[in-house]
Structure 1
């Protein structure tokens, strides 16, 4: 018996792309058995990113945009437009604890996988929907992706762009992966409720709602004070010179985040070898530092520009205040804290090719997460159906009908 917290939980996932499937990947890493339903023809459309040119060559055949949100799952290919395919889904749902879907209401009805359809065969199942804009309102049946529902419509792009000449583009699956972890948390709470009370739940998470939550300070402040009241200081106007980003000799950046400026100012100046600034009347106490912050920032700019990022790593190492190198995604794998905590382990794809993938950030009992690769399209069709009690003759019949892969 596994000691993972969701061991024994079975999840039936009818979802595509990254947002909702990422939740399934998290649940699998927490110990659940996750059965991924893919369309019989072609599978999850994200598999097609390889042929669309969005995934570069030279990656040893690893379709990383499938691997990231689908590791640790089993795959079954089902044509849910057919009566036989719908029968298979209902048969599988009977023995599952969670039904997880990203399909919009009209397609759920068409495929007979809406709440009433699934609850008809399993009244106790936790039914989970991930959407762009929530289950209610004028856009409940409107397609959404994190680039539009989360990043653009949710106000996040505007917050990042500010005075730049054009909108900042988000990184791939940025909102999707945050949202997947959010869905997994909601599912876990619903499973706890069911165990504690015997009552099941319908769980909804939308990308727009996720964006509103993420933008809470700005949204709330705008309601209180009107407009866009969040401060947007230039580098030289920063109220606290120990909160900001400074450029190094080799064109890298160091971010300082010492919010308690009075507390850390003496230590910081000692560490960087500028104890003369402790007795300088312009900067000796907090009010003076604020009034003369531009001059102090000019001095710090010169200091940071005189040394490389690696030199600053060594100099700032003993500092008790918060600081960091502004790292590139390619550097994360080698970050000492990432290595020590096993946050980005090496995994083998189904074709055997090694690659690295960040795990979900939740650890239980300090046990490092050890993900496995994503399944091939329909890799577990027969295995899943046999485990569900479907006779081999019936499986062959479904195959002949085109209901399953």
Structure 2
């Protein structure tokens, strides 16, 4: 089955996680993505082996695979005139030019909007930045930790009061991946506009803007009230007014999350599933007001009851529970979740399983492949441009390509 972007060509001049992850999404939607890497050093992400306490040795390297699945790689030095010539030839044939380069570097290498549009007036020009395309700081770089996590507000919002420092992101490329998906969506919309009107667009997405958007509900709420959202201390129950919103420990030291926003609607059903039938008609829990007043008592009762069975036992019993609930899982556990497997949210990409992009078309998982080796398809791509072997050897001798 072909993807919705079948036939679309993307030329990616980008590094690290953010913008390349947009290319990965476009590739899973059916586009052909050519990744341009420096002829000598390649994408610096290839050298990332240590992330937190985890270290990867050898290949494949998940740190490069996640954002570069299914692409083809050409090693190219844009600072060499012959390399720049090859880049522009590729741009002539592309529908999308995708870059993470800062304004100064785009101008230095002659790959800014006007430069690329000079050879391809109809190309979609897409930029991923740290801090957006306007303002005094638009020329500065950044990472998801700085722009997405810290500056946009997430770190401070989820760090409990009086906690030294901050709570960090849950893993590498967290903000990068979210922002990259936003950028891919913007590019898809720009392609639709071009098809309908003939007009190409310049698409901008920043880590800062994506981080703010992810926290948009909180920003609206706190700005309206003029009050800061404070995080609950770790391990707290949840809602102080609703015992059916919060965490409960199981007998095997796991946790189950209840999120039932209408306690009176679900109270009787929860009681039946947890062998607490005698509490169904208890006046302490008969109305929303009564439940709110007696939340602490209900918390104690539910905690004691939940600790009588293991998570697998509760999971089987809760298959018929009407209200929303979920086991608290780490990523190893999530990867084995039957619902995740049923929806093919992990796909095989060469030797590795990778999380697929979250958009599916026609109820099918996207097909993808492994990330390319550094400059792996250079010769093939040059031949597709119509260059013969004599010319390819000349380019290699000049240091224009790898």
Q: Deviation at 1:84?
A: 1.4
Matched, 1:26 2:25: yes
The residue aligned with 1:148 is 146
CA distance in 1: counterparts of 2:339 and 2:32, whole angstroms? 30
SS of the aligned residue for 1:140 comes to helix
Contact 1:242 1:259 in 2 (8 A): yes
The residue aligned with 2:299 is 297
CA distance in 2: counterparts of 1:160 and 1:255, whole angstroms? 18
Contact 2:239 2:246 in 1 (8 A): no
Deviations 1:134-182 (A, max 9, x none): 0011111111100110001110111221234441111111111111111
SS of the aligned residue for 1:311 comes to helix
Deviations 1:235-285 (A, max 9, x none): 275221111111112221100111121111111111111111112221122
The residue aligned with 1:16 is 15
Equivalences for residues 358-373 of structure 1 within 5 A: 358-373=355-370
SS of the aligned residue for 1:26 comes to helix
Residue correspondences, number: 398
Go from structure 1 to structure 2 and tell me whether the alpha carbon gap of 1:256 and 1:10 turns closer, same or farther (over 3 Å shift): same
The residue aligned with 2:261 is 259
Go from structure 1 to structure 2 and tell me whether the alpha carbon gap of 1:355 and 1:223 turns closer, same or farther (over 3 Å shift): same
Q: Deviation at 1:345?
A: 2.2
SS of the aligned residue for 2:285 comes to coil
Matched, 1:243 2:240: no
SS of the aligned residue for 1:128 comes to strand
Go from structure 1 to structure 2 and tell me whether the alpha carbon gap of 1:158 and 1:20 turns closer, same or farther (over 3 Å shift): same
CA distance in 1: counterparts of 2:43 and 2:193, whole angstroms? 31
The residue aligned with 2:168 is 169
The residue aligned with 1:351 is none
* Aligned partner (choices 67, 72, 82) of residue 69 of structure 1: 67
Contact 1:247 1:304 in 2 (8 A): yes
| RMSD value, Cα | 1.8
CA distance in 2: counterparts of 1:156 and 1:241, whole angstroms? 26
Q: Deviation at 1:222?
A: 2.1
CA distance in 2: counterparts of 1:53 and 1:231, whole angstroms? 24
Unaligned runs of 5+ residues in structure 2 are: none
CA distance in 2: counterparts of 1:395 and 1:47, whole angstroms? 25
Matched, 1:193 2:190: no
Q: Deviation at 1:306?
A: 2.2
CA distance in 2: counterparts of 1:303 and 1:176, whole angstroms? 41
CA distance in 1: counterparts of 2:167 and 2:231, whole angstroms? 19
Contact 1:15 1:100 in 2 (8 A): yes
Deviates more, 1:266-275 or 1:90-99: 266-275
Deviations 1:205-250 (A, max 9, x none): 0000001111112211222111315685852752211111111122
CA distance in 1: counterparts of 2:321 and 2:116, whole angstroms? 57
Matched, 1:389 2:386: yes
Unaligned runs of 5+ residues in structure 1 are: 349-353
Matched, 1:403 2:368: no
